[in-house]
Structure 1
Amino acid sequence: MSVERVAVTGGASGLGAAVVAAVRKAGGTAIALDRQQPTDSEAGWVEVDLSDPAAAETALASAENAIGPLTGVVTAAGIDACGRIEDVELADWVRVISVNLVGTAAIARAAVPRLERSHGRLVTVASTLGLRALSDATAYCASKFGVVGFSRALAVETAGRLGVTMLIPGGMQTAFFDGRPEQYKPGPDAVLNDPANVADAVVYALSQPRGVEIRELVVCPSVEPSWP
């Protein structure tokens, strides 16, 4: 199956931007769904804030108006709020759950009927911290553990109707860590993946023929401290 028309949440930066670029490199058309406009002037863009789950349906409709019926959707949007639970503002904690988990579910809900019609595939993005707990990361772990459970349940629910792949990436060289207190940034000796390499795995999943499932993909540096 070729990569054709793919919508990518969080597609303006980080892993999402790398997925947009990888889809285009593979000969497909990709459009970013993001609050920010992509720096790549040739990339399509739908402005959306996924902390509002009601925005998901409109965003995917706009994406289809721009590039045609979707054959793939990738949920790469994600945020974090580091700190002990009593030190993180409640609104910030809730926003992490809203974007990472509820936003993923809202996009998936809007994507299912579209991808069923096109025999397409949904790729959700979890994290190694969706499998391993870490102190001072309660919001992020809760959201990504939720994405793991959601993705597995959705794969069972939609089996035979559309493809569902869950990506579990380890640390990557992106702006995700920018703006954090120093104690929560990767150390100078941290080994992080190039998001372009992770994006290639996403394209591989999107390219599988109908009826072939890659249910889960773990892509991390060989010395990833969060795995297993």
Structure 2
Amino acid sequence: MEIRINMDGKVALVTGAASGLGRATAIKLASAGAKLCLVDVDETGLAETSAIIGDSGGVAIVQVADLTDPVACSAPVDHAADTFGRFDALCNVAGLIYMAKTPDMPVEQLQRTIAVNLTAPFLLSQSAIPHLLKTEGAIVNVASSAAFLGEAYAAAYCASKSGLVGMTKAMAMEYAKQPIRINAVAPGGMMTNIATNMKFPDDADVELIRRYTGLRGLVEVDDVADMVCLLASDAGRGYHGACINIDAGITAG
């Protein structure tokens, strides 16, 4: 069965769009016909993503925003809606991880992790929901397999992603009787900037790390982007309050 993702005439916002999964998601949404608002703190990366979309005939605007700043989270949705006249999908893709032994993690890293991975999606959703109720739109949050199993040296990250899954389900229940869909995807490790720049403690126990690296290797970024786009589109109309694990079996047992 072929699933056709049609976003013609619709407007989507993607955070973390400067690279990795955010870029892949934005490009796929644009290829499905969506007009894009690209959000990231990396201005150069945003320009590159916008150029890729433009070269393929798509339409994208960029909004440089530091999602650790609550004030910065309030503007992108309204900017997209004002620019394009409507708003149909919020894709909260941006994320970060710091690896550290729990007693050694600086408070600043803990706060940044929670701010980007949990607080920003909440604040962006606050701005998006009034628009999405009008268009019968969707929110898609990118969680992680780390929401479902403990990962040594990643207590803050696990907490933020577990919180994001809980938030997704709570919001879905809050709007169970209204025309809006709120879902999440939970990828395993992917070859993105997050994975490339990940640094473990110097004396980390490799055996503990192997417990959550999986037997089948990394997950393909495009596979996760496909699911995000499905959930953002009308083709995902049967999903509400779901969290789809795409982790090559890491959380199976």
Under a length normalisation based on structure 2, what TM-score does the superposition of the two structures give?
Answer: 0.81
1:31 alignment counterpart: 37
> Shift in Å at residue 227 of structure 1?
4.4
Ranges in structure 2 where 5+ consecutive residues have no aligned partner: 55-59
* Superposition RMSD in Å: 2.3
Q: Is the 8 A contact 2:96 2:113 kept in 1?
A: yes
Query: For residues 65 and 171 of structure 2, what CA distance do their matches in structure 1 show?
Result: 23
Q: Is the 8 A contact 2:231 2:237 kept in 1?
A: no
2:84 and 2:24 mapped to 1: Cα distance?
19
8 Å CA contact 2:137–2:180 kept in 1: the answer is: yes
Q: Is 1:177 the equivalent of 2:195?
A: yes
Where does residue 126 of structure 2 map in the other structure?
109
For residues 63 and 75 of structure 1, the distance between their equivalents in structure 2, rounded to whole angstroms, comes to 15
- Provide, for residues 160-181 of structure 1, a one-character-per-residue CA deviation record: whole Å limited to 9, x for no partner: 2311111111111211123332
Match of 2:227 in 1: 201
Once the two structures are superposed, residues 138-181 of structure 1 have per-residue CA deviations (whole angstroms, 9 ceiling, x without a partner) of 11011001001111000000122311111111111211123332
Find the aligned partners of 1:182 and 1:134 in 2 and give their Cα distance.
12
Matched residue pairs, number? 226
Which sections of structure 1, spanning at least 5 residues, go unmatched? none
The answer for the alignment partner of 1:95 in structure 2 is 112
Are 1:76 and 2:93 counterparts?
yes
The 3 A distance-change label for structure 1 pair 194 and 211 is: closer
212 and 181 in structure 1: CA distance in 2 versus 1, 3 angstrom threshold: closer
- 1:190 Cα deviation after fit: 6.7
Deviation at 1:24, TM superposition (A): 1.0
Where 1:172 maps in the other structure, the secondary structure is coil
Preserved CA contact (<8 Å) 1:36 1:47:
yes
Task: Say if 1:5 and 1:72, in contact at 8 Å, map to a contact too.
Answer: yes
**Which shows bigger deviation, 65-74 or 98-107?**
65-74
Judge conservation of contact 1:115–1:162 (CA < 8 Å) in 2.
Answer: yes
Report the TM-score when normalising by structure 1: 0.89
Alignment correspondent of 2:63: 46
- Aligned-residue offset at 1:219: 4.2
SS at match of 1:45: strand
Shift >6 Å, 4+ stretches: 183-187
Query: 1:51 is paired with a residue of what secondary structure?
Result: coil
Aligned partner of 1:2 in structure 2 is 6
Pairwise CA distance, 1:182: 5.7
Conserved in 2, the CA contact under 8 Å of 1:127 and 1:144?
yes
Secondary structure at 1:86 match in 2: helix
Identity of aligned residues (%): 27
CA distance in 2, matches of 1:56, 1:156: 23
